[in-house]
Every structure is written in structure tokens, then in C-alpha cells.
């Protein structure tokens, strides 16, 4: 019985190591979109209005409607963008469609944003 427990624990550690090991950052010291997608199990979609942009911190504040896939009601909140160039495509007041993922630590990262 003890041997089975040791084998099961070893297999779990090996499986986690195979998942975590390939994480890489790009030249700007940010995670690649592919890495972020691996860290998340679902892409969420929302619709909202841009209320603030902080390009230096790579954040955007959106007032968005309900997002059923994550169980959120409508609210105003900041999201991180991994690719700062996404912020060049929007302005405060724009109505947008956006996609985001949840990474570890309840970090919500926008992976795509488009003006409606």
C-alpha cells in the first residue's frame, strides 16, 4: 500500500513538472500568449466600455456587462494586458469586445480586445 502511494505521488510530481517546465518569457520579460493559454483552462468573453488606460502598467479599466462563463455580474474593474500593443488600439470611451483568461493568483489577463 505504501509503495502505491509513493508511486502515485511521484507520478503527480512528474506530471506537474512537465506542465510547468516549458514556461518561457519573451524579450520584453512578459509571458507569451501561448504560455498564458497553457496556464488557463478557459477563455472568457466580455463586452464593455474603456474607462481608463494605464499603458505604463499595462492595465486597462473596463466597465463590462455580465460574464456568465466566470460567474460575474457587470462591474468596473482593471485588467492586465500581456501585450501592451493591445492598448494602442483603444481609447477611453470606446465600446469593446474582449477576451481574457484567468491565470494563477486570480490574475485576469486580456488576450484580445477589439473596438465594436
Q: Which CATH number goes with the domain that contains 69?
A: 2.40.50.320
Q: What is the pTM of this model?
A: 0.66
- Where is mean pLDDT largest: 4-8, 34-38, 44-48, 104-108? 44-48
Domain boundaries, position 78 = 2-115
Q: What is the mean pLDDT of residues 26-50?
A: 69
Q: What is the mean pLDDT of residues 12-25?
A: 45
Count of domains observed in the chain = 1
More confident residue, 11 or 109: 109
CA distance 74 to 71: 10
Backbone φ, ψ for residue 15 (5° rounding): -65, -45
Amino acid at each position: 500500500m505504501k509503495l502505491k502511494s509513493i508511486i502515485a505521488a511521484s507520478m503527480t510530481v512528474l506530471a506537474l513538472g512537465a506542465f510547468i517546465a516549458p514556461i518561457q518569457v519573451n524579450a520584453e520579460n512578459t509571458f507569451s500568449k501561448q504560455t498564458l493559454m497553457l496556464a488557463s483552462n478557459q477563455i472568457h468573453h466580455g463586452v464593455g466600455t474603456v474607462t481608463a488606460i494605464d499603458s505604463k502598467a499595462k492595465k486597462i479599466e473596463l466597465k463590462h456587462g455580465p460574464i456568465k462563463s466566470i460567474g460575474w455580474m457587470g462591474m468596473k474593474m482593471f485588467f492586465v494586458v500581456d501585450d501592451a500593443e493591445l492598448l494602442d488600439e483603444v481609447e477611453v470611451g470606446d465600446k469593446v469586445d474582449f477576451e481574457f483568461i484567468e491565470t494563477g493568483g486570480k490574475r485576469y489577463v486580456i488576450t484580445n480586445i477589439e473596438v465594436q
